[in-house]
Structure 1
Amino acid sequence: MSETEPKGAAEQQSQVKLRIVTQFIRDLSFENIAAQKNLQGDVTPELAVEIGMDVRKRPTDDQYEIVNKYKVSSKNKADGTPIFLLEVDYAGIFHVENVPEDQLHPFLLIECPRMLFPYVRRIVSDMTRDGGFPPVNLEPVDFVALYRQEILRRAQQQQQQQQPSGNV
């Protein structure tokens, strides 16, 4: 029995701990371009959603600030006339323990945004509805795929910077 006790204690100590300390809107902008330009007639909206993520270590031990940046724009499908633009930066401060150093970056940019997403989704829905449009309900986001795309993009940028130019 004594062999299982230390093993159980070690497993308990190394268990990942994740807690949201706080979350908040860092920046929010909604432009009703259709109302500003008095857009009338037959309008068929076409939505585009862009997502960015940022992470930084906070001075407090084991705390990180994650910022999800959403840009939701709508244009008239027929002529490309802008209808509305919504930009929201939503941040969360997380307390994270027992994540191996080599897994920390993906953990912070996948798990933490996944926890914040329902709140951002509600904000986007409320803002578009309050702006005079049908509420936009964001589709679930595959944060693993977003993370992989970002890593690939950064690797390509590094590769381009390291290539010598053709001029001598």
Structure 2
Amino acid sequence: MADSPATNGGAQPNVPSLNALAQYCKDFSFENPSAPRSLQPQAQGPQINLQVNVNAKALSETDFEVDLALSGDAKVGDDVLFAFELTYGGVFRVQNIPQDQLHPVIMIECPRLLFPFARQIVADAVRNGGFPPLYIDPIDFVALYRQRAAEMQAQGVGQTATA
């Protein structure tokens, strides 16, 4: 029996694949504007606000840059204890994915792969700022995708693979 690419370690033709080629911190900011006062015990727990955004652009027919943007703050009343902004990016190679499934793969699966790394960067920065680490709860990227699709549809904007 002759060796085929599938049996000698080569890639199988036409098999769907998603590969992370690179991951990187694109932009990051952490502020502790009221230090050291903000580090004193507080009478009440802070209100945590978090915003999440995903953007993607095609670099080639198979390669896409995906940015996961996380921003947030912690406040007690009107006082900001800390604030952060992180854009964590990745370059992904997507092959043999049907065209009708390409956009969801890029906008759901790619940020899902980036999220644990971005979450750790935020947790470490908050801890290094003198607070208990902020471990962001897992994000439902499917729900986020559907919400964004509904907003775009309401605005009459079509989706593209490079959203």
Match of 2:34 in 1: 34
**In structure 2, the residue corresponding to 1:35 is in which secondary structure?**
coil
- Matches of 1:90 and 1:19, distance apart in 2: 17
Return the TM-score normalized by structure 2: 0.82
- Judging by fraction of residues, say which structure has more helix: 1
**C-alpha distance after superposition, 1:50-92 (max 9, x if no partner):** 1000000004x4100000000121111xx23211111000000
- Matches of 1:120 and 1:110, distance apart in 2: 15
Match of 1:52 in 2: 53
Residue correspondences, number: 144
Distance 1:35 1:43, change over 3 A: farther
Percent identity between matched residues is: 38
Return the TM-score normalized by structure 1: 0.80
Q: Which runs of 5+ in 2 are unaligned?
A: 1-11, 158-163
Q: Which runs of 5+ in 1 are unaligned?
A: 1-11, 160-168
**In structure 1, the residue corresponding to 2:148 is in which secondary structure?**
helix
1:10-21 alignment runs, 5 A limit: 12-21=12-21
Matched to 1:31, the amino acid is: E
**In structure 1, the residue corresponding to 2:34 is in which secondary structure?**
helix
1:16-165 alignment runs, 5 A limit: 16-35=16-35, 38-39=37-38, 42-59=43-60, 61-76=61-76, 79-158=77-156
- Matches of 2:66 and 2:106, distance apart in 1: 7
Displacement of 1:43 in angstroms is 4.8
Displacement of 1:156 in angstroms is 1.6
Say which one has the larger Rg: 1
- Matches of 1:43 and 1:86, distance apart in 2: 21
